[in-house]
Amino acid sequence: MGMIGGGPKAFIGSIHRQATRLTGQIELVAGAFSGDPDKSVKTGMELGLSKERIYLTYEEMVEKEAELPPSERIDFVAITTPNHLHFPMAKAFLEAGFNVMCEKPMTITVDEALRLRDIVIKSGSVFGLMHNYSGYPMVKLARDIIKDTEFGAVRKVIVHYQQDWLSQPIEADGQKQALWRTDPAQSGPTGSMGDIGTHAENLIEYLTGLTITQVCADVATFLPNRRLDDDGNCLLRFDNGAKGVLHESQIAVGEENNLAIWVYGENMGIEWHQETPNYLNVKVKNEPEQIWKRGNAYVGEKSPAADRATRLPSGHPEGFIEAFANVYANFSDTILAKINNNIPDELMLDFPNVEDGLRGMRFIEAVVKSSKSNKKWIAMNH
Amino acid sequence: MGMIGGGPKAFIGSIHRQATRLTGQIELVAGAFSGDPDKSVKTGMELGLSKERIYLTYEEMVEKEAELPPSERIDFVAITTPNHLHFPMAKAFLEAGFNVMCEKPMTITVDEALRLRDIVIKSGSVFGLMHNYSGYPMVKLARDIIKDTEFGAVRKVIVHYQQDWLSQPIEADGQKQALWRTDPAQSGPTGSMGDIGTHAENLIEYLTGLTITQVCADVATFLPNRRLDDDGNCLLRFDNGAKGVLHESQIAVGEENNLAIWVYGENMGIEWHQETPNYLNVKVKNEPEQIWKRGNAYVGEKSPAADRATRLPSGHPEGFIEAFANVYANFSDTILAKINNNIPDELMLDFPNVEDGLRGMRFIEAVVKSSKSNKKWIAMNH
Amino acid sequence: MGMIGGGPKAFIGSIHRQATRLTGQIELVAGAFSGDPDKSVKTGMELGLSKERIYLTYEEMVEKEAELPPSERIDFVAITTPNHLHFPMAKAFLEAGFNVMCEKPMTITVDEALRLRDIVIKSGSVFGLMHNYSGYPMVKLARDIIKDTEFGAVRKVIVHYQQDWLSQPIEADGQKQALWRTDPAQSGPTGSMGDIGTHAENLIEYLTGLTITQVCADVATFLPNRRLDDDGNCLLRFDNGAKGVLHESQIAVGEENNLAIWVYGENMGIEWHQETPNYLNVKVKNEPEQIWKRGNAYVGEKSPAADRATRLPSGHPEGFIEAFANVYANFSDTILAKINNNIPDELMLDFPNVEDGLRGMRFIEAVVKSSKSNKKWIAMNH
Amino acid sequence: MGMIGGGPKAFIGSIHRQATRLTGQIELVAGAFSGDPDKSVKTGMELGLSKERIYLTYEEMVEKEAELPPSERIDFVAITTPNHLHFPMAKAFLEAGFNVMCEKPMTITVDEALRLRDIVIKSGSVFGLMHNYSGYPMVKLARDIIKDTEFGAVRKVIVHYQQDWLSQPIEADGQKQALWRTDPAQSGPTGSMGDIGTHAENLIEYLTGLTITQVCADVATFLPNRRLDDDGNCLLRFDNGAKGVLHESQIAVGEENNLAIWVYGENMGIEWHQETPNYLNVKVKNEPEQIWKRGNAYVGEKSPAADRATRLPSGHPEGFIEAFANVYANFSDTILAKINNNIPDELMLDFPNVEDGLRGMRFIEAVVKSSKSNKKWIAMNH
């Protein structure tokens, strides 16, 4: 594995490293960790990399790694930079024959996303998108419960993603994470809606198997002088007639990483909260509410995907890194299968991919368009 | 006190009776409990009323009660019938000089609401509207926390009200409550939005002191052949620039009476859940989350209204009937003050009134209009 | 109904009054509310009683009420005074032919309790003891689940009752409640163990149907100069071989009225918390945890007693007063049956009685003896 | 790092491996994974070890590793076998100059524990004991809050550890974990009390800084034919006069790994639940209850140890493996300091050691003695 981004003060790069270590099957051997060469070298040295595989630019990394014998070169690269770099970097590595794990949102325009999809298809490489919340076992369980006929058709979906880290103008103080996320040049056309709204959108489509067809959005920028939205509310309509609400905020004081989802079908409902991820509440008409707990045999029986994503017995809480690592485990098992000329099974392929990335960009596109429009419904193209 | 409605199989009439008993200052002495004379008499007898004060129609009740000497006649009437009867009944009693406590929604049209407001003003009588959720001590506390300057301006409001009792077509089986609530002739232009959406709307304006200026609504009727909406989602805009989401449902399988509200200001946030009403979560930027618990001295110090609405020490849970009784206690204290030619103080006047009822009808009007419109925002007039 | 105690600053008298009002079938018509005649009269007047039925002493009350024609005299008396007065008062009223509802603990010695039992039996009157927690519907449900064969034999019982109101030496400041509860002359041989430990003991035996056979107790008095225990821990053994722990405290800072119980059987377990009383968690080996919610049809089907004790639909929280009123409803229905020469059915008789009071006193006796002993186990006689 | 134990079907060995990987500073290079040579080799190969460092016995491992040049040999060994092997293995490695991380309970007798302490002292090696629950950040925070003067002297401690995995006689079906844990020859004189009771005991002394001086225990074996206790209740007394309760069970149906602790001081209290480990409830007299959440600045300010043990921002849940890894991080940093001839700082030394292991064995000794005794209190020697 190689990494781009993840230098000093980066947030997500460190999580990628911890998650991949946890899998026990991925080793970091190369990287271009920062736009600043000194920082890149410093980070690489701290991580114990060979000096010759610490690169100063991603272009150098593509070139040099591609020159190595296949058995020595990296099997994939993880792109953990600000959004505007995802596309050129992913493109370069894919076209050089590398597999890619990319942070979300996938690109900064739908056009880039469409082009990237073509590149992925043409390359035959494995492309993963880090919608890490789909890696939680109880999310996979929820999906498998919802697709059961006894759940009945989905009627209503509520998802919220509440944070407060941008409730003060910290970008004005130079906070690195806030700086690029509120900068249209690096972040793209949306702030919070792209940063966390796309996670929510992905969670909905992953869990329900439904397709959002129309959105009606109202994004807001509450902090004066902020250049991108820090809050947004959105009505949703789905292909099967279901309706929904997605709302997110980065100015919801006191909220940390409060992603939660409720799905109601004709006969049952589910409720899941990311901050207590080991539990899934299952509601059945005229029966006591059920709390399904990760790691039990009854979970594995209903959801082989949840079972596969489980490391510890019940009552031994798993968290964010474990879910992250689950995405990596499926991604790297798929690469391994490919290396060994095996066909990856369905459970391996259960990680977000380029199609999910395109959906996210279409969602952003529709939300931006809707927020500026006097028309009530904006189609989210398929 | 007299009562109209609340006969056999009625739901809310019994709650009015329990709540008034609990206050210790209200006695039921007259009533017209059903459109069916036999049922009215039967209910009245069971409740131990004198036979001569069990009436067969509300018109008879108005007439006969008005003929009684002032010291004997009822001090007020509680109207607990289906919605379409609220207006004529309230009108009749007000015009005969009686005080009125009315179930929500106040009327079935904005026009009726406007007329009723005029009648109330002209009559000089006390008019209360049973938005019982404003009677909870922790709701009053939340209001008083929000209006503190340290809370900062409100930026975002989320409210949901989820139920499941209409998730099956029970009106087809003749269930009395479902029958009239899904009948436009008795319920008015909305189903769930009028029944529970107006509670949510009232809670928002009561808690925040803000005024909703625009709505963008999407109501739905998920059950085939149902005649009114059983679900609805709504984006909100407020007079101070805040934004919000209100969503409600009566088909959310597994939800019982799940009304909850989150309000986020510049520096703080609050969260309250009706099903565990003795707690209020208070969020302060960069501090541990706080759980304020009903009945403590620190609650009373921040909110005299919460203190006044508290019967039991902390840890001794209060519930729905107690909140209901709190509305009645303020309402009847106000009547008492009037009887004694005193000026009711501000704490007594803290109960929903005809203006709140008009707001509820304007909300319904705007939601109905929005749901049928292709325009994104519909004004909610003041 | 008549009341003894419950004057100004009393806590529990007011709750008795609110609870009886809520039942809709009990009216307060007489009382001796305080040892101070002025206070008794003042309270009685405030409560709207006829002056001639406000008494200055309980002896006067017994005498005068007994002189009234049967149709006018009180049907029962509620004794809400400090503990040391329970016995003489209950004795006087029972011997004069009145039914009695008595606060707990029933007496201050086992000897008194045994004598009171004899008096009750001899009198043929109805005697109720206010262990109000047994009035909660979910407690009744728990009892009915535990007695099902599928629960399996009970193996382990944990109960705690944590409060903090005596964590500071408030009796030194003259706080009325604290004064008498820390005074051996008024409270009896125990402080917190008698005040709340007996509630916990009663809850255990009520819920499980088991009999405590042995205790091993360690009570403590943490506040200097306090004269009775303010904390206690206790190991328990039961007649069927089950084991348990009961611990209580009135110095557990931050706890309000935190009574909770866990019962584990061979195949199932239950968990209930008084502060969120509308829920009962039910645990079944290898199945998702279940949250049973008050007011649902499935609750009533499993437990007719819970159904009978339910006033409101699910999701509309009931609380402490409602549970209190449930004890009164069964007690007064039993009296009514007796008045009408009917045999009260089993559901009516579901309220704590003189035998429960005796168990409480035996528990106190065993705990006191154990705390002073070097012997590990002290028998709790039957 | 080398490992003993952790072969196929082992539970804890895999967790040691995941936790050490997560630290990013520990690599597994040698091991003797099973008493069965084939299994040891198989496990070693699967883990990617060089064949020459997969050993068939621990004696072989000690001998061969000691022969390697210091720069190549393992820096420490992790002992993850059944209890009866801890002592001889730890002794062998310590005497050969290796550092040791040992599973709990440390030995099977107090005598072995005392001898091991001497060996550790004499060796000058670093010895860690895997009481992993002390690795949770919020546990460290709780400790630092309790030691503040504003907390006041600790008065009462409650800890429970409830599981259900032995509620059925699974050892009779040959379940590997159950087999050795219910076998006195491998497990020592206690079952559940040694397995989980010692975790609870360690948590108490770690959190409070107090020393248990006396115990009064009642252990039980509920399953017929089981050879060791599967449940136990215990009263505690502390050196400062505080009192407590420790109860644990492996037959508490529906409980998974429900370790929780409540500590009450003169002015404050804390409450922590292992199954939702990212939260610490802090109770202050007459103030709202506080929920401290892992990863916030206010946590780090109060507790540098919690800060050091934190990997992710607030709202991104950490779990069991992370806590486990925190123990390893401190342990290995201490070794590193030693290797580099530095003096490890206090934060590094914050991991359970041989003294903690001795305390655990003394606890087991006292509990066993107490359970067989008619005397109420048994001293737990220091």
Please write the tens of the pLDDT for every residue from D59-96: 999 999 999 999 999 999 999 999 999 999 999 999 99
- Cβ of A315 under 8 Å from any chain C Cβ? no
**A281 DSSP β-pair partners:** A271, A291
Other residues' Cβ atoms within 10 Å of the Cβ of residue B115: 14
Range list of β-strands (E), chain D = 2-4, 30-32, 76-79, 99-102, 127-129, 154-162, 212-220, 231-238, 243-249, 258-265, 268-273, 279-284, 289-293, 378-379
Question: Is the CB of B313 less than 8 angstroms away from the CB of C277?
Answer: no
Selected residue of C287, C302, C303 to mutate for chain A interface (largest A Cβ count, 10 A):
C287
pLDDT tier for residue C11 given thresholds of 50, 70 and 90 = confident
**Residues 211-240 of chain D whose Cβ lies under 8 A from any Cβ of chain A:** none
A164 touches chain B (CB under 8 A): yes
Q: What CATH number has the domain spanning C134-315+359-370? A: 3.30.360.10
Residue pair A235/A247 in contact (Cβ under 8 Å)? The answer is: no
With 90 as the cut, is the pLDDT of residue A9 above it? no
Nearest residue on chain D to B287, alpha-carbon basis: D298
Give CA–CA dist B319/C381, Å, rounded. 39
Q: What is the mean pLDDT of residues C290-306?
A: 98
Does the structure show a pLDDT above 90 at D382?
no
∠ CA D113-D116-D120, rounded to 5°: 140
Chain A window 17-36: which residues touch B at a Cβ cutoff of 8 Å?
Answer: none
Mean pLDDT rounded to a whole number for chain D:
97
Q: pTM for the whole thing?
A: 0.98
Give me the residues of chain B with pLDDT under 70, please.
none
Q: How confident is the model at residue A15 (pLDDT cuts 50, 70, 90)?
A: very high
What's chain C's average pLDDT? 97
What does the pLDDT read at residue C8? 85
C313 interfacial to chain A (CB closer than 8 Å): no
Taking an 8 Å cut-off on Cβ atoms, the answer to whether D257 and A314 are in contact is yes
A12 has pLDDT over 90:
yes
Three-state SS at B288: coil
As for the ipTM of the complex, it is: 0.96
Pairwise CB contact (< 8 Å): C289 & A291: yes
**pLDDT score of A178:** 94
D2-130 — its CATH code?
A: 3.40.50.720
Q: Quick one: pLDDT at residue A11?
A: 86
Q: Do D286 and B298 touch (CB under 8 A)?
A: yes
**Burial class of residue D150, CB neighbours in 10 A (0-12, 13-18, 19+):** exposed
Domain definitions of chain B by residue range:
2-130, 136-313+359-369
* Interface probe with B: pick from D268, D272, D289, most Cβ of B within 10 Å: D289
Amino acid A343: pLDDT = 95
Nearest chain D Cα distance for residue B255, angstroms: 24
Q: How confident is the model at residue D11 (pLDDT cuts 50, 70, 90)?
A: confident
The predicted model gives A203-226 an average pLDDT of: 98
A367 Cβ contact partners less than 8 Å away, ≥ 6 residues apart: A190, A193, A197, A215, A217, A219, A232, A234
Nearest CA in chain B to C312: B15
Peptide bond into D105 cis (omega under 30): yes
Q: Is D367 on the interface with C (CB under 8 A)?
A: no
Helices vs strands, H then E, count in chain B: 14, 14
CATH of domain B136-313+359-369: 3.30.360.10
**Is A248's Cβ below 8 Å from some Cβ in D?**
no
pLDDT digits (tens, 9 = 90+) for A276-288: 999 999 999 999 9
Cα gap C139→C131, rounded to integer Å? 12
Which residue do the tokens 């630290």 mark? D23
pLDDT of residue B182: 95
Contacts of C292 in chain A (CB under 8 A): 288
Nearest chain A residue (CA) to D258 = A315
SS3 at position D212:
strand
| Confidence at residue A233, expressed as pLDDT on a 0 to 100 scale | 98
A369 touches chain B (CB under 8 A): no
Question: Does A262 contact B at CB distance below 8 Å?
Answer: yes
Is residue A382 predicted with pLDDT exceeding 90? no
Give me the pLDDT at residue B168, please. Answer: 96
- For residue A381, the model assigns a pLDDT of 87
Interface test with B, best of A170, A264, A266, A270 (most B CBs within 10 A): A264
Comparing CA positions, the residue from A277, A329, A258, A317 lying closest to residue A142 is: A277
Reported as a pLDDT band with limits 50, 70 and 90, residue C10 is: confident
What is the fold of A136-316+359-369? Dihydrodipicolinate Reductase; domain 2 (3.30.360)
Q: Is the pLDDT of residue C321 over 90?
A: yes
Q: Which of D218, D254, D285 sits opposite C235 (nearest CB)?
A: D218
From C290, C296, C297, residue closest to A290, measured CB to CB? C290
D273: chain A residues, CB-CB within 8 Å: none
Which is the CATH superfamily of the domain at D136-315+359-369? Dihydrodipicolinate Reductase; domain 2 (3.30.360.10)
Q: Average model confidence (pLDDT) for chain A?
A: 97
| C41-67 per-position pLDDT tens digit | 999 999 999 999 999 999 999 999 999
Which of C238-252, D126-140, D171-185, D241-255 has the least mean pLDDT? D171-185
Q: Best mutation site among B154, B214, B253 for testing chain A: the one with the most A CBs within 10 Å?
A: B253
Exposed, middle or buried by CB within 10 Å (0-12, 13-18, 19+), for C78?
Answer: buried
Percentage of chain C exceeding pLDDT 90: 98
> SS3 for D70?
coil
* pLDDT class of C40 with cuts at 50, 70, 90: very high
Given a cut of 90, is residue D9 above it in pLDDT? no
Which of B257, B293, B315 is facing C315, going by the closest CB pair?
B257
What is the tally of helices (H) and strands (E) in chain A? 14, 14
Q: Does A297 contact C at CB distance below 8 Å?
A: yes
Q: Over 90: is that where the pLDDT of C165 sits? A: yes
